[in-house]
Amino acid sequence: MIYAHIVGWGKYIPPKVMTNHDLAKIVDTSDEWIVPRTGIRERHIAGSKETTFTMGYAAARDALEKADILPTEVGLIICATATPEHTFPATASLIQDALGATHAGAFDLSAGCAGFVYALSIGAQIIQGGGHKVVLVVGSETLSRITNWKDRGTCILFGDGAGAVVLQASEQRGGVLSTVVRSDGSGGDLLIIPAGGSKLPTSAETVLRDQHTIQMDGRAVFRFGTRVVEKSTREVLEQAGLTLDDVELFIPHQANLRIINAGVRALGVDDSRVFVNLDKYGNTSSASVPIALCEAVECGRIRPGDHVVLIGFGAGLAWAAAAVQWGPPPEPRKRTLPQQAIRVVIYPFALIRSRLLRAWYRIESRVFGSPKPVHIDEDGKKKK
């Protein structure tokens, strides 16, 4: 049997910090109002040159380097995001190009704040089915670009950042043991960006009405979140053949501390077994779970053999959970001198390769132009 193990992890956090006191200067709120209601004290905001792609690329590269895996060994890249670089092409394709992952397919996944766990589930099942040996899963968001900074009910919640993991095939039991992905589209309007799609294309009116920013029914989303944290956790553990007592650490989506606490109480587990970093980053949507996972590993909260449950929930309404058994650290690979040299130059080479190909596509289009149209007669034959 083939298992999908997490062998690399990485994150990128924009250096710019916006505290609650900073927010109080632009909207009617205060630290004393925000902290009791959300648990958030500050969030990080992307700079003018930081985007969903650049942050996702940085997190992906960090994860690959920790896994000691070359981009050319990656078979698939999935980028979970609610704030893609463009409507198309996929942000995952931009990451693939920048990494130099020349053998990888790439696509984006949109499942709101549950997106990363959705993508992890898909990546694990592709590996378990023998489709690929290495899958890179990224969660990256620039929510500050779709936040209504005049709405104190939502602007206090969100921040920017990215996280990524590398999944690798192994015959050793462990890794992603089970996953649950669920959706209830009847609650789709509870957390939504109304305009910018096919229903409400961009217009002066939609811009003036702030319909390109996040709109949320906070109370309804709160009740939804508290229900699904418990429900999805119990379901994914049952599928994995585990109990709550078998789990060393729970990593829920960092949406709101009150939601996390309510879910923890419903499960009946001690707070010490729940990882929370919401106070530093706010809600980073699909990036929140991988960022928290990275920090949990870095501070020694996850050790080889530990069982970890990841839980995501948000727009859709969508929710997901994954039960993971953490494996031992990847053994350093013995590389020849040429292989070591390749590892050093592969990222600069990927940049050069990308620029050359972009230039060639433009030259090719101008030199050769479009193919001549083919005219077909009534009998289906080409006209001369």
Which amino acids are annotated catalytic? 113, 253, 283
Q: Which of 304, 333, 300, 320 is nearest to 174 (CA)?
A: 304
In the block, tokens 């999805």 appear at 232
Q: Assign 3-class secondary structure to 222-270.
A: HHHHHHHHHHHHHHHHHHHCCCHHHCCEEEECCCCHHHHHHHHHHHCCC
In the block, tokens 């957390």 appear at 191
Single-letter residue type at 64: L
Report d(CA 107, CA 225) in Å as an integer.
27
Residue 190 is classified by DSSP as G
Q: At what angle do helices 91-99 and 52-67 cross, to 10 degrees?
A: 50
Report d(CA 26, CA 24) in Å as an integer.
6
